[in-house]
Amino acid sequence: MAWEIDGFERSIGGLAQSTVRVYVSDVRRFADWAARGGAAGPSDCDRLVLRRYLASLSTRRYARSSIARTAASLRSYFQWCARRGLVAGDPSARLSAPSARSRLPRVLAHSELESLLDPDDERRNGLEEDRDRVPETAQGGVIADRGREPVDLRDDAALELLYGSGLRVGELCGLDLRDVDCERLTLTVMGKGSKQRQVVMHQRCANAVRTWRDRGRPAMTTGESPASALFLNRRGHRLGPRDVRRIVDRRSPVPTHPHALRHSFATHLLDGGADLRVVQELLGHSSLQTTQVYTHVSKERLLAVYSGTHPRA
C-alpha cells in the first residue's frame, strides 16, 4: 500500500492501454528492487536511488530504449507522488537516461506492397496449410469473391486499412462496424489516449472492407463473436495484434512488422507532395515533431534515387 501503485495506475488510465501496462510494470519492477534495498515506499527514494536503478538496468544489458522508457515511467510516477504528497520533493526531476538510438522507420518497396495487398493465386495456394482457418462452426458460411475464403477477404481489408489509412494495429483491432462509412470513405478511429479522429480511405480500400463485412464476416461469425467488432479472428473473437502479425507474416515475402505499413503510408504521402500537417492529422500525432521523422525518410529515399540515377552522382 505504501507505494500506492494501483492509485498511480488509475491516474494514467486515459493513456493507451499498452502504455499504462508498461508504465505500471516499470514502476512495480523498480519498487521491488528498491524494497530489497530497504525502501518502504517512494518517500525513501532520492535521486541517487533512481540513478543507481537505471545504472543497474544498463549493467544487466537492458536496451537503451527500455532504460529510457523506464526513466519516463519513474518520472511520471514520482510526479504523481509529489502531487499526492507522498514525497517531499520530486526525486525524478531532471532524471536523465541514455537516449534511445533513433532508427528511421522501414518503408516497404512497391514490390513488397504488391505481395501484401495483391497476392497472386499461386502464392496464396502455396500458403494454404499455414492459413488462419475458419472454425468448424462457421464452415457453412458463403465463400464469395472468386471462390476466395473468408479469411482472405478479411486479410485484404485489414491490410488495405493499415496501408491505405495509416492505422495503428491497435486502432485496426478496435474498429467496430459502426465506425466504417464505405459510402463517405471515412473511418472513426479511437487513437492513443482515447483520442477520436476521422480518417479517410480510398475507394479500393472501401471495397475490400465492404466485401469482408458483407460476405466474409458472416461466414466467420460464431455464437461467441462480439456483435460490434469489424474484424474477427479464426475463433470468431475480435481480431488481436498477434492475429494481425500473423496476417502480415503470411502475406509478406520478407520479415515485415505491421507498423511498417503505417510508416509507408506516411512516407509515400510526403513523397507525393502532401503537407506535413495533413499527414500529422491523418496519423493522429499530437506533436508535429513525431511526424517529422518521416521527412528524414523521404530525404533518404530522394538521396538514394538521386545517387542511382544522376549521371554525375
User: In whole angstroms, what is the distance from residue 161 CA to residue 205 CA?
Assistant: 6
What is the pLDDT confidence band of residue 123, given thresholds at 50, 70 and 90?
A: very low
What is the pLDDT confidence band of residue 114, given thresholds at 50, 70 and 90?
A: confident
Which residues are the active-site residues?
168, 192, 259, 262, 285, 294
Domains identified in the chain and CATH numbers: 5-84 (1.10.150), 110-305 (1.10.443.10)
Residue 212 is classified by DSSP as I
User: In whole angstroms, what is the distance from residue 297 CA to residue 108 CA?
Assistant: 12
Mean per-residue pLDDT, 54-78: 92
Q: Which residues contact 306 (CB under 8 A, 6 or more apart)?
A: 313
Handedness of CA 129, 127, 144, 187 (dihedral sign): positive
pTM value is 0.66
Of the candidate ranges 32-41, 126-135, 199-208, 248-257, the one whose mean pLDDT is the lowest:
126-135
**Has residue 307 got a pLDDT over 50?**
yes
User: In whole angstroms, what is the distance from residue 177 CA to residue 252 CA?
Assistant: 27
SS3 of residue 97 by DSSP? coil
- Where would I find the H helices in 85-168? 110-117, 121-126, 150-164
Handedness of CA 214, 215, 220, 223 (dihedral sign): positive
Mean per-residue pLDDT, 167-174: 92
What pLDDT sits at residue 291? 80
pLDDT for 91-111, tens place per residue?
Answer: 998 888 766 666 666 788 888
**Has residue 112 got a pLDDT over 70?**
yes
**Has residue 164 got a pLDDT over 70?**
yes
What pLDDT sits at residue 169? 92
SS3 of residue 196 by DSSP? strand
What is the pLDDT confidence band of residue 147, given thresholds at 50, 70 and 90?
A: low
User: In whole angstroms, what is the distance from residue 66 CA to residue 57 CA?
Assistant: 9
Q: What is the per-residue DSSP string for 230-283?
A: S-B-TTSSBP-HHHHHHHHHHH-SS---THHHHHHHHHHHHHTT--HHHHHHHH
* Percent composition of the chain: helix, strand, coil (DSSP 3-state, to 5): 60, 5, 35
Neighbouring CB atoms inside 10 A of 266's CB total 25
pLDDT for 261-301, tens place per residue?
Answer: 998 998 888 888 888 888 888 888 878 877 877 777 676 66
C-alpha cell recorded at residue 308: 542511382
308 strand-pairing partners: none
Of the candidate ranges 96-105, 136-145, 194-203, 288-297, the one whose mean pLDDT is the lowest:
136-145
What pLDDT sits at residue 9? 94
pLDDT for 24-37, tens place per residue?
Answer: 999 999 999 999 99
What pLDDT sits at residue 120? 57
